[in-house]
A and B are shown apart, each in its own frame.
Chain A
Amino acid sequence: MQKITCDVLVIGAGPAGLAASIAAKQEGAEKVLIVERDESIGGILQQCIHPGFGLSYFEEELTGPEYYARFADKALELGVEVLLNTMVLDIGDTGVVCMSSKDGLSIIEAGSVVLAMGCRERTRFQLTIPGSRPSGVFTAGTAQRLMNRENAMVGRRVVILGSGDIGMIMARRITLEGAEVIAVVELNDYLAGLTRNKVQCLDDFEIPLLMKHTVTDIKGKKRVESVTVCEVDAENIPIPETAVEYPCDTLLLSVGLIPENELTHKAEIEISPITNGPVVNQYMQTSREDVFACGNVVHVNDLVDNVSLESERAGQCAAKYALGRLKKAEDVIQVQPGRNVRYICPQEIVNSGDGGEINLYFRVTSPEEKVRILVKTGDKVIVQKRALRVNPGEMEHIRFDAKEITSPDLTVEVMKEAI
């Protein structure tokens, strides 16, 4: 078994891993190594051939491959090393075990580790959609991979469940390929993905969006033959009288992503039951002090631009840790979700006393209009901002200086504006 040593080890070469590795290098880490199980770098962006990336980070509109290429070029230029076709199996106490067919099993001893494994898709079974189990039920990302990376068309008449971004983008993609998208079906009365994707991917192509509907049955012995769609009541329970059966050969699911935390779980790192990703502090440091995390493995992001920013922090702090320059996480404050806040990331803040910018990302529980977003230390408001509209499908962001924290109670809340 070969032994490898490095200062910072990054697991995953998606946008998160790439940005983290660059920042680690820039912070002064000498040997930064990315381990990636795929045969090429770029992560999920390799199959995102549509535009819409980089609007805030680069202030221009790029495709997925164009976006990650910029980071990839930079990383290579800085001398980041990459092991492809190599899967990390375990983050043990004595080293990280990984494997490839070329080099067999290796053990990597690293000063610090950055988790950047991305996420996976929720399936029909996690939603317990009953019915038969034919071929032709795909998660939207799998269909996207088949179409954009394997050049294989998945179906001719398609129903899409869930108004997540991937689902809406695939609705457009499938339409452009000459197949028919019968409808996009969404359980809630608000969109799961970004409004701009609804406009650009559904409205522009006249694809019907059925809000407050769900799929209640799948029929077909071999290949999907039809799906049944029902309206739901206020409690999201299907109303049987409203059932409509749509003949189709394909059902795509865009019903949520789950951070890919097999390794995190095995390493006994604390995982948040809400995000399903590791609990982190503002350094993106997990409950194991030499392990950092960023990107979709921490919490599912809708915009890769946020991933890049967050990952730079992770890479920088991981390098500091490896070089012995990161302060010990001692006085830790939990960030509490207040009114209409589902979760906040980072969940913890290390109050070192010497300040520093804190970026809190969070999602609301339910959509609301004309609100004020507040961060409070005890009863005192540190920052606040107004928002015309908040939506669970769109991540919110608020920033302040750690110096402002004066109480162990730190809360983020969304309040209705007084009229």
Chain B
Amino acid sequence: MKTDVVVIGAGAVGCAIARELSKYELDITVVEKNEDIGGDASKSNSAIIHTGYDASPGSLESELVVAANPMYDKIVRDLDVHFEPVGAILPAITDEQLEQLPAIKDKAMRNRVYDVEYLTREDVLRMEPEINPEVRAALYIPRESIIDPFVLVQAYAENAYANGVHFLLSTKVTDIRTGDGCVQSVITTGGEIETKWVINAAALYCDEIAGMVGKRCYDVVPRRGQFYILDKNTSCKVKHIVLPIPTKTTKGRLMCPTVHGNMLIGPTAEDLDDKSATETTADGLESIRIDVEKLVPRVNWRDAITQYSGLRPNRVPEGLHVDTYEDLNGYINLSGVRSTGLTLSVAMGKYVAQLMISLGMNAPFKKNFVEKRKGITRFADLSVEQQASLIEKQPLYGNIVCRCETVTEQEILDAIHRPLGARSVDAVKRRVRAGTGRCQAGFCTPKVIEILARELKMPASEIMKNEKGSYYVVGDMR
């Protein structure tokens, strides 16, 4: 196989880069080890589009996050992604915290986030009645926003695909061949790909990829974050992102709504050495409960519907880096895309494209670039009249498969049959939310397995939760 650009990793960053590069006359191949697009960290995070108010001023991370935030207004329209600029509140509960507010505001200014404002105690309690009544004052950061992180990555990928990008899924990069000071090819579990450019967006594993070209000058130490998700109907909800004031040792745990109206609470920050340790722990979850109750005392933990965790690709030594090498043309190494990668993905696409141009990439701009992507019609969000006319046109909209989130059979078919479609139960879930409600797929799992088996013409025993080996049924009964 031959291509111009290999992007390693189909997470938020890899897919955003592929989409940006697909604006040029380039042959692009994204290589992803997982069975689905969507990444690792990119599917288990806080789902916040940050402003960069607390970044390290002058850093590349500050530059990219601050640039990225305003780009979301357009990108979510073009790519049909659910996004809500709900704003963040940073309450000072103790005197000590109150004293820290000016420094935080000052840092925001140095990051060019100028719209941060003080709130009085009365303002805070009016805007967010569930905040600890002992609150003294707060900072308000209006452009901190929430997004559907799964659909964001799917949208980048689907739009890239529509613009000719190839995706090789379930394909792992095992080596990179270099010669004459240039990258030559990428060796994968699916064969060798000759290429001019290699972009390492492998996040947790970016150190190993760098090692393949002899450029491993750092390690990735996974930093786990555990979360709670609460039922939409929980008794105590917030409307904003409620952020704790960081201490010297921790950034603390936040509480915010998701775009679908659930409450998201977390994350922890635990440095580990296992890059697959995405389990939750009793201690981690307890620490979240203790912390968040200081901010929002009435949180109702009995309304928890799930817990999960993700691994931040934390770089040691720290910092976000995009590296190129004089002795290795065509190789671009991203590392330290740790806690803001979802946000900065869109800016990273632009940054990498510009970097390639500065390094001599001179492919012309595509004339027929498809800018827009249409998402899966979400039946539950429509008016009764729209629903009625939709069922008339397509009767499978009348079959509800997931009762908690009101997901219809037609939406599941769309998830399976669209480009880069779902092949597993989790992949269906991330596209249309079947199984994300309060019964956590107890009701719809048998049906989703049945639909996948039918549509993909496979026996039920070959339908996986996600990766190979994660089967549900061991076979027929008799």
A411 interface residue per 8 A CB criterion: no
Are A153 and B384 in contact (CB-based, < 8 A)? Answer: no
Are A102 and B442 in contact (CB-based, < 8 A)? Answer: no
Are B474 and A142 in contact (CB-based, < 8 A)? Answer: no
**Least Cβ–Cβ distance between A327 and chain B, in angstroms:** 33
Are B400 and A105 in contact (CB-based, < 8 A)? Answer: no
Who on chain A is nearest to B229 by CB? Answer: A125
Q: Which among B121-129, B304-312, B323-331, B356-364 touches the partner chain?
A: B304-312
B406 interface residue per 8 A CB criterion: yes
Are B388 and A104 in contact (CB-based, < 8 A)? Answer: yes
- Given A133-B279, A135-B470, A151-B478, answer yes or no on A121-B442 (Cβ-Cβ < 8 Å): yes
Are B396 and A141 in contact (CB-based, < 8 A)? Answer: no
Are B388 and A123 in contact (CB-based, < 8 A)? Answer: no
Most buried by A among B449, B473, B475: B473
Q: Which among A18-26, A215-223, A353-361 touches the partner chain?
A: A215-223
Question: How many angstroms from the CA of A100 to the CA of B391 in the assembled complex?
Answer: 8
- Chain B 283-310 per-residue mask, 1 if CB under 8 angstroms from chain A, else 0: 0110000000000000001101111100
Are B388 and A262 in contact (CB-based, < 8 A)? Answer: no
Collect the chain A residues with CB atoms within 8 Å of residue B276's CB: 221
Who on chain B is nearest to A90 by CB? Answer: B384
- Chain A 153-174 per-residue mask, 1 if CB under 8 angstroms from chain B, else 0: 1111000000000000000000
Are B306 and A101 in contact (CB-based, < 8 A)? Answer: no
Are A135 and B442 in contact (CB-based, < 8 A)? Answer: no
Who on chain A is nearest to B478 by CB? Answer: A151
Who on chain B is nearest to A2 by CB? Answer: B388
Question: How many angstroms from the CA of A133 to the CA of B403 in the assembled complex?
Answer: 22
Question: How many angstroms from the CA of A102 to the CA of B391 in the assembled complex?
Answer: 9
Collect the chain A residues with CB atoms within 8 Å of residue B398's CB: 99-104
B118 interface residue per 8 A CB criterion: no
Question: How many angstroms from the CA of A103 to the CA of B387 in the assembled complex?
Answer: 12
Collect the chain B residues with CB atoms within 8 Å of residue A139's CB: 442
**Least Cβ–Cβ distance between B466 and chain A, in angstroms:** 8
Who on chain A is nearest to B228 by CB? Answer: A128
**Contact partner of A105 among B285, B387, B396, B460, CB < 8 A?**
B387
A339 interface residue per 8 A CB criterion: no
Are B477 and A153 in contact (CB-based, < 8 A)? Answer: yes
Question: How many angstroms from the CA of A102 to the CA of B394 in the assembled complex?
Answer: 10
**Least Cβ–Cβ distance between A48 and chain B, in angstroms:** 16
Who on chain A is nearest to B395 by CB? Answer: A101
Are A222 and B470 in contact (CB-based, < 8 A)? Answer: yes
Are A104 and B391 in contact (CB-based, < 8 A)? Answer: yes
- Chain A 242-253 per-residue mask, 1 if CB under 8 angstroms from chain B, else 0: 000000010000
Question: How many angstroms from the CA of A105 to the CA of B398 in the assembled complex?
Answer: 8
Question: How many angstroms from the CA of A150 to the CA of B463 in the assembled complex?
Answer: 14
Question: How many angstroms from the CA of A373 to the CA of B475 in the assembled complex?
Answer: 50
Collect the chain A residues with CB atoms within 8 Å of residue B460's CB: 150, 152
Are B469 and A130 in contact (CB-based, < 8 A)? Answer: no
**Least Cβ–Cβ distance between A132 and chain B, in angstroms:** 4
Question: How many angstroms from the CA of A89 to the CA of B387 in the assembled complex?
Answer: 12
**Contact partner of B391 among A101, A120, A216, CB < 8 A?**
A101
Who on chain A is nearest to B387 by CB? Answer: A105
Question: How many angstroms from the CA of A134 to the CA of B466 in the assembled complex?
Answer: 9
A371 interface residue per 8 A CB criterion: no
- Given A126-B305, A142-B442, answer yes or no on A97-B473 (Cβ-Cβ < 8 Å): no
Who on chain B is nearest to A148 by CB? Answer: B477
- Given A99-B398, A128-B304, A151-B476, answer yes or no on A134-B470 (Cβ-Cβ < 8 Å): yes
Are B477 and A120 in contact (CB-based, < 8 A)? Answer: no
- Chain B 379-402 per-residue mask, 1 if CB under 8 angstroms from chain A, else 0: 000001001100110011111100
Are B473 and A153 in contact (CB-based, < 8 A)? Answer: yes
Collect the chain A residues with CB atoms within 8 Å of residue B468's CB: 222
Are A151 and B477 in contact (CB-based, < 8 A)? Answer: yes
Collect the chain A residues with CB atoms within 8 Å of residue B442's CB: 120-121, 123, 138-139, 141-142
**Least Cβ–Cβ distance between A47 and chain B, in angstroms:** 10
Question: How many angstroms from the CA of A413 to the CA of B392 in the assembled complex?
Answer: 56
Collect the chain A residues with CB atoms within 8 Å of residue B282's CB: 128, 130, 216
Are A152 and B384 in contact (CB-based, < 8 A)? Answer: no
B56 interface residue per 8 A CB criterion: no
- Given A150-B450, A151-B478, A153-B473, answer yes or no on A120-B467 (Cβ-Cβ < 8 Å): no
**Least Cβ–Cβ distance between B289 and chain A, in angstroms:** 9
Contacting residues of chain A (77-106) with chain B, CB-CB under 8 angstroms:
85, 87, 89, 97, 99-105
**Least Cβ–Cβ distance between A134 and chain B, in angstroms:** 6
Are A142 and B403 in contact (CB-based, < 8 A)? Answer: no
Interface size counted on chain A using CB atoms at 8 A? 52
Are A153 and B281 in contact (CB-based, < 8 A)? Answer: no
Are A146 and B470 in contact (CB-based, < 8 A)? Answer: no
A177 interface residue per 8 A CB criterion: yes
A145 interface residue per 8 A CB criterion: yes
Collect the chain B residues with CB atoms within 8 Å of residue A1's CB: 384, 388
**Contact partner of B439 among A85, A103, A121, CB < 8 A?**
A121
Who on chain A is nearest to B284 by CB? Answer: A130
A380 interface residue per 8 A CB criterion: no
- Chain A 7-24 per-residue mask, 1 if CB under 8 angstroms from chain B, else 0: 000000000000000000
Who on chain A is nearest to B305 by CB? Answer: A125
A131 interface residue per 8 A CB criterion: yes
B350 interface residue per 8 A CB criterion: no
Who on chain B is nearest to A150 by CB? Answer: B446
A37 interface residue per 8 A CB criterion: yes
Who on chain B is nearest to A147 by CB? Answer: B477
Question: How many angstroms from the CA of A262 to the CA of B443 in the assembled complex?
Answer: 14
Collect the chain B residues with CB atoms within 8 Å of residue A156's CB: 474
Are A223 and B477 in contact (CB-based, < 8 A)? Answer: no
- Given A125-B306, A154-B472, answer yes or no on A142-B446 (Cβ-Cβ < 8 Å): yes
A196 interface residue per 8 A CB criterion: no
Collect the chain A residues with CB atoms within 8 Å of residue B196's CB: none
Who on chain A is nearest to B283 by CB? Answer: A130
Question: How many angstroms from the CA of A37 to the CA of B397 in the assembled complex?
Answer: 14
- Given A120-B443, A125-B304, A152-B460, answer yes or no on A105-B391 (Cβ-Cβ < 8 Å): yes
B465 interface residue per 8 A CB criterion: yes
Are B280 and A131 in contact (CB-based, < 8 A)? Answer: yes
- Given A151-B476, A154-B472, answer yes or no on A120-B439 (Cβ-Cβ < 8 Å): yes
A389 interface residue per 8 A CB criterion: no
Are B473 and A152 in contact (CB-based, < 8 A)? Answer: yes
Are B305 and A145 in contact (CB-based, < 8 A)? Answer: no
**Least Cβ–Cβ distance between B212 and chain A, in angstroms:** 24
26 inter-chain pairs at a CB distance below 8 angstroms, sorted by A residue, are: A1-B384, A101-B395, A101-B397, A102-B395, A105-B388, A120-B439, A123-B305, A124-B440, A125-B307, A128-B285, A130-B280, A130-B285, A131-B280, A132-B279, A135-B471, A138-B445, A139-B442, A150-B450, A152-B446, A153-B477, A216-B282, A219-B279, A221-B467, A222-B464, A222-B469, A223-B469
Chain B residues at the A interface, C-beta cutoff of 8 Å: 233, 276, 278-282, 284-285, 301-302, 304-308, 384, 387-388, 391-392, 395-400, 403-404, 406, 409, 438-440, 442-443, 445-446, 449-450, 460-461, 464-478
Chain A residues at the B interface, C-beta cutoff of 8 Å: 1, 37, 85, 87, 89, 97, 99-105, 120-121, 123-126, 128, 130-136, 138-139, 141-142, 145-147, 149-156, 177, 216, 218-219, 221-223, 249, 262, 265
Closest 8 CB pairs of A and B: A101-B398, A222-B469, A135-B465, A152-B473, A222-B470, A101-B395, A104-B391, A132-B279
